[in-house]
Chains A and B, each alone.
Chain A
Amino acid sequence: MSTTSGVATGEFAQGKPPLDPGKRKSLHDGSGRKAAVLIAPTIVLLAIVILYPVISAVSQSFTKDAGLDPATGMFVQGGFAGVTNYKLWLLQDCGSGAFSCPPGTLGSQFWTATGVTFLFTVVAVSLETLLGFTFALVMHRKFKGRAILRASVLVPWAIPTAVTAKLWYFIFAYDGIANKILGTEILWTGDGWPPKAAIIIADTWKTAPFMALLILAGLQVIDESVYEAAKMDGATAWQRFKHITLPLVRPALMVAVLFRTLDTLRMYDLPKILTGGAGDTSTLSMLVVDQVRTGFNAASALSTLTFLIVFAVAFIFIKFLGANVTEQRAPKTKKAA
């Protein structure tokens, strides 16, 4: 699940079926049954690999770890744990009663990880949006050699994230080219701000072009005649940008931002390989994976929390920020009229 999978989201946020086949309907009796047969394999696969694990994780998150009971020395099966596993993360309650897990334990890292995950998301997605928009405006202009440009921006997209991380790990090495060009001796994978900056730079490099392509596609559907009319009326370039481009490209922009936000919130490969979590750069996803080896139940609670956070952010985007994914897709269907 990386940048590409983000594109697969889209329309379905609202109640109307967006894919009305339009003027050439083929409504026959029994098309419901046919549809069920055609769709069943997808549903079954998604149910096995996504629905079952989610239900299993939620139920696990309310279960106690099996193990030796300290009082009796007997081996006990888990049993209902209430919200103990959630208290571990949210309240830093590691079971000792004090509301502060000892430093070094995974429980103590929850809020740091949440903070750094949101830091990456806000900073990286903002940079990617600004750069992507600038790229898209340049790419939208008329010039020779579009193919070369299009191929160049697809290169960062095509390089696997694991390779991207290793490439920037080399660029940001102590003796590496970044320090040489800047004339600095920064430990980019050490402590403080450098590891965070390294991750944000690498992520922005890889995904700003992708953002540019989505925004460019939005720019390309704006009718040229609108600009011509505004020019006739004496609108300046800035006025045309502010009153035509921005409002008309906004729907495509919001969907692109939504995709990228959800992708950055679940970021794992890049920080894992680039910094390995040095300098408090462990994201929520990295924390879950570390916890899997320590205890399934606490890990289940943490992965459920991560899912809820991602879900909440998606909900806010769709509900309040107008990332109207339905509207975006609906007009694509040929209208009957």
Chain B
Amino acid sequence: MATTSRSTSSHRGHTVTASGVEVVQHRNVPAAVLTYVGVVLICLWGLLPFYWMIVTSFRDVGFTFDTTPWPTHVTLENYTTAFSTDRGNHFGRALLNSVFIGAVTTVVGLVVGVFTAYALARLEFRGKFYVLGLILGASMFPGVALVTPLFQLFTNIGWINTYQALIIPNISFILPLTVYTLTAFFTEMPWELEESARMDGCTPGQAFVKVILPLAAPGIFTTAILAFTAAWNEFLLASQLGGDKVQPVTVAIASFAGAQPHQEPYTAVMAAGTIVTVPLIIMVLVFQRRIVSGLTAGGVKS
């Protein structure tokens, strides 16, 4: 296999690969070329719109609709505009709100989820089917069916525009995800170690904390990434049950006001979108393998 020519050419595009002479030794050259054409097309599919957002976010507002495919009229002004509160936008505050809501949701969701997943993966008990059924039903549930009753309930108890009004529903939304992913990870773990810890005199609680939790850390971490991403994305309930004070970034970006009414501040919105997305993209780059294993943990047998 002509590994060197392939790896270098893959950075430049498929046309170079086509002339990668050494690959010819392998019997199906057209298939290899086709694969690389496909790979390049898929990369473009994922990256081009994202690239366009970044390029636009650095472009002077006077050249919003410039179509040069690389950065021109570069400025950082859009980023200051995004954080500016002059037009009634509170992007900075919304960013902090999202971090806070996402962090609390993730931590509580994980703590609650870990215990349930442990019970589902390790204990035999009657009614397990009904517990699983309830969790399944919850995850299939259309969020919009909750808006009406929760809006009414939270209005009655004065919770509209409070953090708990956004955090508690969010926890319930991510619980099926965390329980499910964690159960999949827990089922795969070497539980023999727990038993030997017990033999050595640990209580079940000690065995869990000292032996199982450290082993489960990668799975829990992966679940945390998925849970945080889900909480970070939430829009529907936040837009209905929240208010200015607790508004998360998704809602803030959707209602970003321009200099004049009905004038969409495209470049500032692209800057805000870039800020919101980049932390997630970094996470994706670093933990891609884990994320994929977490995402597919439920759907496929291995």
A residues lining the B interface (CB < 8 Å): 1-2, 4-13, 15-19, 21-22, 24-27, 31-32, 34-36, 38-39, 41-43, 45-46, 48-50, 52-54, 56-57, 60, 134-135, 138-139, 141, 143-145, 147-163, 165-171, 173, 175-177, 180, 205, 208-210, 212-214, 216-218, 221, 251-252, 255-256, 259, 262, 265-266, 268-269, 272-273, 284-285, 288-289, 292, 296, 299-300, 303-304, 306-307, 310-311, 314, 328-334
Contact = CB atoms under 8 A, between A and B. Distances in A.
B128 A288 contact: no
Given A2-B234, A7-B297, A39-B115, 8 more contacts: A9-B176, A12-B132, A54-B149, A167-B50, A255-B299, A266-B142, A300-B149, A329-B184
Nearest to A154: B284
Contacts of A205: 45, 49
Interface in B189-228: 191-192, 194-195, 226
Contacts of A332: 184, 187-188, 301-302
A284 B143 CA distance: 12
Contacts of B64: 175
Contact of B148 (A16, A141, A170, A300): A300
Contacts of A2: 230, 233-234
A311 B145 CA distance: 12
A218 B273 CA distance: 33
Interface residues of B, number: 121
B123 A143 contact: no
B175 A46 contact: yes
A26 B196 CA distance: 12
Given A49-B168, A151-B288, A32 B144 contact: no
B140 A38 contact: no
Contacts of B264: 169, 173
Given A39-B115, A42-B116, A49-B146, A8 B139 contact: yes
A105 B63 CA distance: 41
* Residue of A17, A42, A60 contacting most chain B CB atoms (<10 Å): A42
A159 B277 contact: yes
B74 interface: no
Contact of B67 (A8, A180, A299): A180
Contacts of B112: 41-42, 45
11 contacts: A12-B133, A26-B195, A34-B123, A138-B42, A145-B10, A156-B49, A160-B276, A163-B53, A171-B52, A175-B64, A332-B301
Nearest to B3: A144
A329 B46 contact: no
Interface string B160-176: 00000000110111111
Contacts of B52: 167, 170-171, 177
A289 to B, nearest CB: 6
B172 A268 contact: no
B180 interface: yes
B172 A49 contact: yes
B291 interface: yes
B270 A329 contact: no
A218 B299 CA distance: 8
Contacts of A160: 232-233, 235, 249-250, 276-277, 280
B78 to A, nearest CB: 12
B141 A50 contact: yes
* Residue of B113, B119, B300 contacting most chain A CB atoms (<10 Å): B300
A285 B143 CA distance: 8
Nearest to A305: B145
Contact of B174 (A5, A18, A34): A5
A78 to B, nearest CB: 13
A8 B149 contact: no
B292 A150 contact: yes
Contacts of A251: 301
Contact of B7 (A12, A48, A145, A299): A145
Nearest to B56: A170
Contacts of A266: 142-144
A296 B148 contact: yes
A251 B42 CA distance: 24
A147 B290 CA distance: 12
* Residue of B56, B119, B276, B302 contacting most chain A CB atoms (<10 Å): B119
B234 A1 contact: yes
Contacts of B253: 162-163, 166
A7 B180 contact: yes
Given A8-B176, A328-B301, A329-B298, A46 B149 contact: no
Contacts of A21: 121-124, 187, 191
A149 B296 CA distance: 17
Interface string B105-134: 000000011011011111111101101111
B142 A310 contact: yes
A281 to B, nearest CB: 16
Interface string B30-53: 011001101100110111011011
Contacts of B291: 154
Contact of B183 (A6, A19, A36): A19
Contacts of A148: 10, 43
A331 B299 CA distance: 12
B300 A292 contact: no
A27 to B, nearest CB: 5
B79 interface: no
Contacts of A38: 115-116, 118-119, 123
